[in-house]
Amino acid sequence: MKRHFLLLMAGAWAVLGITGCVKEPMNNLSAPESRIYITNRDSTANFSAYTTFSIADSVTVIDNNNLAGKQRTSTDAGFIDAVRNEMKARGYAEVSKGASPDLGINISRIYNTYTGVMTYPNYWGMYDRYYDPYYWGYGGYPYYFPPLYSFYEVTEGALSVDILDLKDASATQRIKGLWQGLIRGSGIFSQDPVPQVKALFDQSNYLKKNQ
C-alpha cells in the first residue's frame, strides 16, 4: 500500500509540473491579435437603396458613459479617412452634411475605467513555513498579518463606427441606426487605422451600393 501511495504522489507531482509549465495563451498575444471586431446591423435595411453619405469631421469621446467632447487628433483623422475610403470603395458618394446625405457616419472613442481589489491571503498563510520566529527571540509565537489589499485601475478603450439613416429621418421623425462596427483590444489608437477599419468592413459584405 505504501508503494502505491508513493507512486500516486509521484504521478500527481508530475502532472502539476507539466501544468505549471503551460503558458497562458492570452498573455502571448500581440496587440493586433488581441483585438475583437464586432459588427451589427438592422436586418431590415437595404443598403443598396442608399446613395450618398457624410461623415463627421471629428470624433466623439465618451468616458465612462459621459460625453467628454469632440476631438480630431492625427489618429482620429486616420480613422475618419479610412472609413471614408471604405464607403467610397463600396459605391457610395460623399457629400457635405448640408446636401441631405442618405447616410450619416459618426465615429466615437469609448473609454471605460475599472477599479479592482487584490488580496494576498495565501502568501501570509504560508509565512510560518518560511520564517523562524526564534530568530527574533519570540519562539513559539505565530506570525499574524492583518488583511492586505491592493487596488488597481484599468482603462479599456474601444472605437465605434455608427452608420445612421438620414434618408428617412424626416418621414419617421427619428434617426435610425443601420450599422455599427466596434473594435476592442490593445493598441487601437496607436496602430494604423486602415487595416482595423478594413477588418470591420470585411465582415459586412452586404454594406454596398449596387453599381
Give the whole-angstrom CA distance, residue 53 versus residue 102. Answer: 6
pTM, 2 dp: 0.72
109 by DSSP, 3-state: which? strand
Per-residue pLDDT of the chain (211 residues; tens, 9 = 90+): 434 433 333 343 333 343 444 444 445 545 566 789 999 999 999 999 999 999 999 999 999 989 999 999 999 999 999 999 999 999 999 999 999 999 999 999 999 888 888 776 666 666 667 778 788 888 888 777 777 777 878 788 999 999 999 998 988 899 999 999 999 988 899 899 999 999 999 999 999 997 5
Domains in the chain: ranges and CATH: 29-202 (3.30.160.670)
205 by DSSP, 3-state: which? coil
Phi-psi region of 16 (alpha: psi -120 to 50; beta: other; left: phi over 0): alpha
Q: Which residues partner with 119 through β-bridges?
A: 149
Phi and psi, residue 61, nearest 5° = -110, 120
Give the whole-angstrom CA distance, residue 86 versus residue 26. Answer: 31
Per the CB < 8 A criterion, the answer to whether 104 and 146 are in contact is: no
Give the whole-angstrom CA distance, residue 39 versus residue 180. Answer: 6
